Amino acid sequence: MHRFNEWLAVKITQGMATMWCAYAFLLWSLIPMAFPQTQSVVFYVSGGIIQLVALSLIMVGQTVLGEASEKQAKVTHDTVLRTHGLVMEDLLIVKKQLAIACEERNQLEVLLNDLHIKRPNLMKQIDE
């Protein structure tokens, strides 16, 4: 029964948050202009029933929708945190690989310098 009540409150909240509902209430409020004898009924239904009942239904619907939004926000937050952790792990791996590549590059530069000192014309000979 609790789930049905929440479902109904959400549906009514969503229905009342439309322009069609606003148009219906506008037309309802204009009825006494065409039929003045209905003014007391229109005011009773508007003030007594619609306002009192709709207010509590909308509040329950907003609470249920808010709880659903909070749950979704928590799931999104947890997913972002997990993704951040994975990205940070990948970044650490890339940094380690970059450090190794820089060290290897430095070693190659040393070897090339040694080779250039021992055989300065080697590159010219290779290009020819």
For 5-40, the pLDDT digits (tens) are 888 888 888 888 889 988 988 898 889 888 888 888
Predicted TM-score (pTM) above 0.95: no
64 and 6 in contact (C-beta within 8 Å)? yes
When pLDDT is cut at 50, 70 and 90, the band that residue 122 belongs to is low
Alpha helices for the chain (secondary structure H): 2-16, 19-34, 39-43, 51-118, 122-127
Q: Is the pLDDT of residue 124 over 80?
A: no
For 41-98, the pLDDT digits (tens) are 888 888 877 887 888 888 888 888 888 899 999 999 999 999 999 999 999 999 999 9
